[in-house]
Amino acid sequence: MTYDRLVCANCAAPVSEGRCPVCRANRERLQQGNLFAGLNPTTLIALLAVLIAAVALLAHQTA
C-alpha cells in the first residue's frame, strides 16, 4: 500500500499532503521504512514486467 492513499485520523486529510504534524511524521516514517515507498503502483508493475521478461529471456537462452 502506498502512503498517498492513507487518510490522517488527526486532520482527515491525505497523509501525502502533510497538513498536520502527525501527517508529516507518518509520511517521513513511511518513506524511510520502505525502499519502494516513493514509487507508484504503475512503476512497480512496469519493473515487475521487466524482471519477468529478463527471467524469460535467460530461461530461453539456457534451454
Q: Other CB atoms closer than 10 Å to residue 16's CB: what's the count?
A: 17
pLDDT tens-digit readout, 6-61: 788 888 888 878 889 888 887 788 777 666 666 778 888 999 999 999 999 999 99
The answer to whether residues 5 and 27 touch, using CB atoms and an 8 Å cutoff, is no
Write down the pLDDT at residue 47: 93
Write down the pLDDT at residue 1: 46
The answer to whether residues 11 and 20 touch, using CB atoms and an 8 Å cutoff, is yes
If DSSP codes are grouped into helix, strand and coil, which group holds residue 33? helix
pTM of the predicted model over 0.95: no
Write down the pLDDT at residue 9: 84
Write down the pLDDT at residue 59: 93
